[in-house]
Chains A and B, each alone.
Chain A
């Protein structure tokens, strides 16, 4: 989209009008959660958070793939980093995620591990060809946004006869996690700002249960202040009339049924499985694993990796934060033992994590 058009979605006059409207129509508290980390950052960066009426309670959800990567998954890829046969390929944002004993990929790299930051999963094809004696293992962390590209890479690798590429598949799916959150009675939410990028792939249908099963509203939303304000106003309106809907407010990018082609490729290679989410635990059917027909690419099989739930990192409140039970600055480690320079949990590492956003943008 052009830059000028984007500016329109930041128009201060229109934003003020929407904020006034909100104030006029708010009767009681509205507790909303944005699922996606890019929304978290957008809400802070634009200064929107400081302008929202007090009655709007803003919570950040489990929408950053780095934040929800389970400790056991982190330890698994850190262990692989020590394997002499392996060249690990990863997106840059996993480099500083701390595992047991505060090890991370950056430190492993300094110790001599072969780790390559890639910008696209397709880069791993070249990497595998250039290093025929090594096993290139791509760390597959992400939601429906990244999974189709990785599926595409595996298809391409098979077509090109590349045999030394593996995927360590930790992909997770968003709607299943929201279902789990809503069924937890400790969590008190009125509505969701739904992720723009994920929805561009899956469309809005998979979210219908939010209104049907739980009577809550949810709006697929773009990343500009006007997008967010419009969605909040819609949710307030529905609540005042006692309605609940799942709507798409980001029609300039998200089609009703998403991107069927991407979904097809994704499910050709992956199938749903149970998955462990950091701080939340096991959510049935919320992960993706490599189908048996594609097991030649499966790093878990190759290295016998089993992901198990264990005690969470001591002191870290990531779970409560991802579930919207606590705000980041309510974590006793926040800003003290845990800072972006020396993070304890991934919510402080990821640029899209809510602890990092609080630390970076929040006044007082």
Chain B
């Protein structure tokens, strides 16, 4: 039988030492982390963006990634959405007793790959092992910080009437992958998570176009919920053009089977960019030059018609409200 994570590994004794030095430092180590001090010593000055997030995704492995890479991408992206260059991260693992060691290794390795690719350092970490049932397999918390390079930083309350609304690619891929895998459904055509670190693309974008008003990643609650948050805090109306929304046919098909709305599904490798009309074309060019933004397109316009609301102009040319999600979207099975 293959090795499992035991409560001993979280005891702080020898077993913990082995786990940390072999698995964590072996994969995630760097000069700062290797010092194993109680806290990391960092050189930060000026305006800093900081973000934290806990990852509890079920299933922990899914097509296109796993909880380890996701924990890096999620936090790196949150920091980068502030017009910042993400530099350092912390990560805390809460592991359920009995998790196969091989699984943990795959997760840590893909976390290592993800930080390497994003160009951030993990400078502090923590590992806890809890009794069976206290968590679901594994939870990971990550915190990231980075230097803000634009002034003012893009912010959810900065959208203005007349701004163009852009999206960096197709929507719904991640959310459908997760729900589909959880329900044990095999989609005919391949649907996989879009989980990716967007920081390099975002940094390029704000360096060339400091005029960007809002950058947001439409994660939980999807595009519809994120846009509602933006219209509420900016007190403008977002008119979305249903025909322009980039949704893969596989995702559309999968959603119609499960009774889900792709507009409310989480994304992990996409961002919304809201900026003055005059810069919209240039922003799209910058995005499309990057593989992570190759499907970027314009999806709507900010207006002052219905402040605080998102209005969907449907394929038929009708208009309707696109509200916030009430509770969780549950797949319909019948």
Contacts and interface: CB of A to CB of B under 8 A. Distances in A.
Interface in B242-275: 242, 249, 252-253, 256
A294 interface: no
B311 A340 contact: no
Contacts of A45: 314, 320
Contact of A341 (B252, B253, B317, B326): B326
A46 B315 CA distance: 7
B44 interface: no
Interface residues of A, number: 26
Interface stretch (A10-18, A79-87, A153-161, A253-261): A10-18
B318 interface: yes
Given A119-B334, A341-B326, A360-B321, A10 B316 contact: yes
B320 A340 contact: no
Contact of A12 (B306, B316, B320, B334): B316
A361 B261 CA distance: 14
B227 to A, nearest CB: 15
B252 A3 contact: yes
B9 to A, nearest CB: 35
Interface centre among A15, A16, A50, A92 (most CB of B within 10 A): A50
A15 B314 CA distance: 12
B316 A340 contact: no
Interface string A326-364: 000000000000001100000000000000000111111
B25 to A, nearest CB: 44
Contact of A46 (B314, B333, B334): B314
Interface string A1-35: 00100100010100110000000000000000000
Nearest to A339: B326
Contact of B321 (A51, A341, A361): A361
Nearest to A117: B330
B49 interface: no
Interface in B308-334: 309, 311-321, 323, 326, 330, 333-334
Given A3-B253, A120-B334, A364-B306, A340 B326 contact: yes
Contacts of B242: 47
Contact of B316 (A48, A361, A363, A364): A48
Interface in A141-179: none
Nearest to B256: A3
A319 interface: no
A120 B306 CA distance: 42
B253 A16 contact: no
Nearest to B323: A360
Given A120-B334, A360-B321, A361-B321, A46 B256 contact: no
A225 interface: yes
A88 B323 CA distance: 33
Contacts of B306: 363-364
Nearest to A4: B249
B293 to A, nearest CB: 27
A6 to B, nearest CB: 8
A363 B330 CA distance: 25
A143 B242 CA distance: 34
A291 interface: no
Contact of A16 (B256, B317, B330, B333): B317
A47 B316 contact: yes
Contact of A51 (B252, B312, B317, B330): B317
Contacts of A15: 316
B311 A225 contact: no
B323 A46 contact: no
Given A3-B256, A360-B323, A363-B311, A48 B318 contact: yes
Interface string A34-66: 000000000011111111000000000000000
A44 B318 CA distance: 9
B183 to A, nearest CB: 11
A44 B320 contact: yes
Interface in B121-157: none
Contacts of B318: 46-51
A51 B309 CA distance: 20
Nearest to B333: A119
B315 A12 contact: yes
Contact of A225 (B316, B319, B320, B323): B316
A354 B320 CA distance: 15
Contacts of A361: 320-321, 323
A46 B319 contact: no
Contacts of B317: 12, 16, 47, 51
B326 A46 contact: no
Contacts of A12: 315-317
Nearest to A50: B318
B330 A10 contact: no
Interface of B: 242, 249, 252-253, 256, 306, 309, 311-321, 323, 326, 330, 333-334
The 4 closest A-B pairs by CB, nearest first: A47-B318, A47-B314, A119-B333, A50-B318
Interface of A: 3, 6, 10, 12, 15-16, 44-51, 92, 119-120, 225, 340-341, 359-364
Given A49-B320, A225-B316, A362-B321, 4 more contacts: A45-B320, A359-B323, A360-B321, A361-B320
14 contacts: A10-B316, A12-B315, A16-B317, A45-B314, A45-B320, A47-B315, A47-B316, A47-B317, A47-B319, A48-B316, A119-B333, A361-B320, A361-B321, A361-B323
